[in-house]
Amino acid sequence: MFANKKKNLNLVLDFIKCYQKRFLLFSLFLWLAYFLAVNNSANQVFTLSDLNTQIKGIQSEVLLAKARATELQSVERITAASQNLNLVQTSNVFYLAGNKDVVALR
């Protein structure tokens, strides 16, 4: 019985010796694949975080641009700009009604 266990152990050790290099190469390949997968995942998370930061910055710029556009389109701003450009103001405005559109004349 002891000899049978020793024989089985020798068979296992011979099998390990025979396939040791293949096992090491396969283990190295699996480790490399795992490393690349983890690295790729971390890179995607970093890129996603960076893109989210850029989106937030652009959204704040859009809000500032909308506020500036509203400010520039105000009646007070247009009146001040027309005075700076020495435009003549009229008091009489005539509207022409056509088939499709209404047009204002001064």
pLDDT digits (tens, 9 = 90+) for 54-106: 999 999 999 999 999 988 888 888 888 888 888 877 777 776 666 666 555 54
Q: Residue 4 and residue 10: Cα distance in Å, rounded?
A: 10
User: Is residue 44 pLDDT above 70, yes or no?
Assistant: yes
CB-count exposure of residue 30 (10 Å: 0-12, 13-18, 19+): exposed
Side-chain-side CA neighbours of residue 86 (13 Å): 0
Please report, for residues 63, 70, 79, the alpha-carbon distance to residue 66 in angstroms, rounded to integers and kept in the order given: 5, 6, 20
Amino acid of residue 14: D
Give residue limits of the domains in the chain: 2-105
What number is the average pLDDT over the span 10-24? 83
pTM above 0.75, yes or no: no
Average predicted confidence (pLDDT) for the chain: 84
